[in-house]
Chain A
Amino acid sequence: MTEEIIIAGFGGQGVLSMGKILAYSGMMMGKEVSWMPSYGPEMRGGTANVTVIISDNRISSPVLHEFDTAILLNQQSVTKFESMVKPGGVLIYDGNGIVSHPTRKDISIYRVDASEEAVRSNMQKTFNMIVTGAYMKVKPIVHMADVLKGLKSSLPSRHHHLLPSNEKAIEKGMEIVVPVNVVSANCCVNCH
């Protein structure tokens, strides 16, 4: 099993921490992991992205130009990364502010309106965990118990009282993610 993920959005949406939590979760499961962020001017106001790889095997390149899964949280990211999803792969996006929706027919597309839900349920601070939940529903590779362990190791202990609200946000994400276009699963993660 090798899962190559790109997560992209605005700086401040929690893209890098979401990637960190997935990487920690993979490590908790005994997998090989890598986390490669964009750093510098991009994360200071513009777009931020992170490549996370979770694998049973030694990871070769931590930087990739095609992905099994793209999690895209703004228009720039949809525009930039839609074409980089492998045929048969998965694209998950937040519909907030999207005018030009993803259109590929050879990949599975899911929509999670996490920004809208975060505002409605007053969960703005756990927005990225709603998105994480959507990912976990679509691709059940990392499990709740490991994600919670991952959160625990990546969050400073003064924030540990927030763990239950993060768990709630993950469950919300699992609930509200909807399929837009689903291709047959002959290219699922199991055959990699």
Chain B
Amino acid sequence: MKEVKLLKGNEAIAEAAIRYGVDGYFGYPITPQSEIMETLMAQHPWDTTGMVVLQAESETASINMVYGGAGCGKKVMTSSSSPGMSLMQEGLSYIAGAELPCVVINVVRGGPGLGTIQPAQSDYFQSVKGGGHGDYKLIVLAPSSVQEMADFVPLAFELAFKYRNPALILSDGMIGQMMEKVTLPPYQPRWTEQEIEQLHPWATTGKKAHRSKNVITSLELLSDEQERHNQKLQAKYQQMQATEVRYETFSCEDADYLLIAYGSSARVCQKAVEIARENGLKVGLLRPITLFPFPTEAIHKLAQQVKGILTVEMSAGQMVEDVRLAVEGKTPVAHFGRFGGIIPSPGEVVDAIKQQFIKG
């Protein structure tokens, strides 16, 4: 049965994970995402669905527990916030190299270093350009509401298993801490051991007489083999780019100016569109839902229609680089950002459009 609740984004993630039949969560507390593990612990899912919830000794340990669980074909996840995510990058690179599915949630806070505990979007580069060593990509989903925090847990797992690739939910302190109405999905059972063997013949479920042994590793010392493996990974990323792009547009049909923003900033920009249109400025908004794969084509198309594009990010300007690559000089592209934990106001965004594109 579907249930409507008033929940924080972090709580919604935890509730959705239990209902989706996730097998294991391994994490380490850090503000502003600690409610994810707190909610999981409070719900005692080990008594109901059999889900394991474990507080590891560090983020490095958490991501390696995820590596182990994923190798067994289980639905496993972890979550952290920016400084903790940096610690997980080595593990993520191994998981991507070994082609294992898992879900990771980053509830971003301002950096660099320990930075602040307030919301930011300054981990975009780390999330979409790999983050650890080697040529790899994560599937990156950017929720902009509490409902999407809940909805993207199943979606991230589906994509992760479809491509045997880690999927990242890139949220931030605002979406994690705010409460909104959320409709939770019905409970579904965890996979049985038999189902895992059938669905994921690559998983290390114990050597059977009818098949050769499964080996999970990211190591290949023969360069020819390693190159072939990398080519396979790149083909997979191209496949994602061709089929998994998701985005949403608001008031773009007649727009003279286009805002591009994801997550929290997209919420602020929706209000900015309303204010701008009340003042006679035809502004539209494109909200990337997948940050990798990026909605390059949709942006390229809109670039031919508008007089200017403003990206709004809670960073010094990271996604703006991918927007410029998509626009290929067809129209001016500018960036407006606040950082260090400051959320921009809708009014500031409207002022920035005027300053950048409507001078005088």
Answer whether A34 and B32 are a contact pair too, CB < 8 Å, given A60-B267, A61-B271. Answer: no
Cα distance A20–B6 in the bound complex, in angstroms: 9
Decide yes or no whether A40 CB sits under 8 A from chain B.
yes
When distances are taken between beta carbons in the complex, the residues of chain B under 8 Å from A39 are 31-32, 117, 173, 177
When distances are taken between beta carbons in the complex, the residues of chain B under 8 Å from A37 are 177-178
Interface flags, B263-276, vs A, CB<8A=1, else 0: 01001101111100
Decide yes or no whether A64 CB sits under 8 A from chain B.
yes
Decide yes or no whether B118 CB sits under 8 A from chain A.
yes
Decide yes or no whether B179 CB sits under 8 A from chain A.
yes
Decide yes or no whether B346 CB sits under 8 A from chain A.
yes
Decide yes or no whether A178 CB sits under 8 A from chain B.
no
Decide yes or no whether B256 CB sits under 8 A from chain A.
no
CB distance from B36 to the nearest CB of A (A): 14
Cα distance A41–B32 in the bound complex, in angstroms: 12
B179-A23 in contact (CB<8A): yes
When distances are taken between beta carbons in the complex, the residues of chain B under 8 Å from A32 are 181
Cα distance A82–B6 in the bound complex, in angstroms: 29
When distances are taken between beta carbons in the complex, the residues of chain A under 8 Å from B271 are 60-61, 64
When distances are taken between beta carbons in the complex, the residues of chain A under 8 Å from B4 are 27
Answer whether A62 and B174 are a contact pair too, CB < 8 Å, given A23-B179, A35-B179, A39-B32. Answer: yes
Cα distance A24–B181 in the bound complex, in angstroms: 9
Decide yes or no whether A141 CB sits under 8 A from chain B.
no
Main SS of the interface on chain A? mixed
A61-B179 in contact (CB<8A): no
A61-B270 in contact (CB<8A): yes
When distances are taken between beta carbons in the complex, the residues of chain B under 8 Å from A61 are 267-268, 270-272, 346
B267-A36 in contact (CB<8A): no
Minimum CB distance partner of A52 in chain B: B179
When distances are taken between beta carbons in the complex, the residues of chain B under 8 Å from A63 are 174, 264, 267-268, 343, 345
When distances are taken between beta carbons in the complex, the residues of chain B under 8 Å from A174 are none
Interface flags, A99-119, vs B, CB<8A=1, else 0: 000000000000000000000
When distances are taken between beta carbons in the complex, the residues of chain A under 8 Å from B272 are 61
CB distance from A152 to the nearest CB of B (A): 13
B181-A27 in contact (CB<8A): yes
> A-B contact count, CB below 8 Å?
68
Minimum CB distance partner of B349 in chain A: A61
When distances are taken between beta carbons in the complex, the residues of chain B under 8 Å from A34 are 178-180
A64-B179 in contact (CB<8A): no
Q: How many residues of B contact A (CB 8 A)?
A: 25
Decide yes or no whether A131 CB sits under 8 A from chain B.
no
Decide yes or no whether B347 CB sits under 8 A from chain A.
yes
Q: Among residues 16 to 46 in chain A, which have CB atoms less than 8 Å away from a CB atom of chain B?
A: 20, 23-24, 27, 32-37, 39-41
Cα distance A36–B343 in the bound complex, in angstroms: 12
B117-A35 in contact (CB<8A): no
When distances are taken between beta carbons in the complex, the residues of chain B under 8 Å from A158 are none
Cα distance A24–B5 in the bound complex, in angstroms: 9
Minimum CB distance partner of A65 in chain B: B345
- Of the candidates B31, B118, B180, B345, which one forms a contact with A64 in the assembled complex, judged by CB atoms under 8 Å apart? B345
Interface flags, B250-289, vs A, CB<8A=1, else 0: 0000000000000010011011111000000000000000
When distances are taken between beta carbons in the complex, the residues of chain B under 8 Å from A23 are 6, 179
Cα distance A62–B144 in the bound complex, in angstroms: 11
Answer whether A40 and B31 are a contact pair too, CB < 8 Å, given A33-B181, A34-B178. Answer: yes
When distances are taken between beta carbons in the complex, the residues of chain A under 8 Å from B343 are 63
- Of the candidates B6, B268, B273, B345, which one forms a contact with A24 in the assembled complex, judged by CB atoms under 8 Å apart? B6
B179-A60 in contact (CB<8A): no
Minimum CB distance partner of A24 in chain B: B6
Cα distance A65–B344 in the bound complex, in angstroms: 9
A62-B181 in contact (CB<8A): no
- Apart from A35-B180, A61-B267, A62-B174, 12 more pairs, CB < 8 Å: A32-B181, A33-B180, A36-B178, A36-B179, A37-B178, A60-B273, A60-B346, A61-B272, A63-B264, A63-B345, A65-B345, A66-B347
Query: Chain A: residues with CB nearer than 8 A to chain B?
Result: 20, 23-24, 27, 32-37, 39-41, 59-66, 153
List, sorted by A's number, 20 A–B pairs whose CB atoms are closer than 8 Å: A23-B179, A24-B6, A27-B4, A32-B181, A35-B178, A35-B179, A36-B174, A37-B178, A39-B32, A39-B173, A39-B177, A41-B117, A60-B273, A62-B178, A63-B264, A63-B267, A64-B271, A64-B346, A65-B345, A66-B347
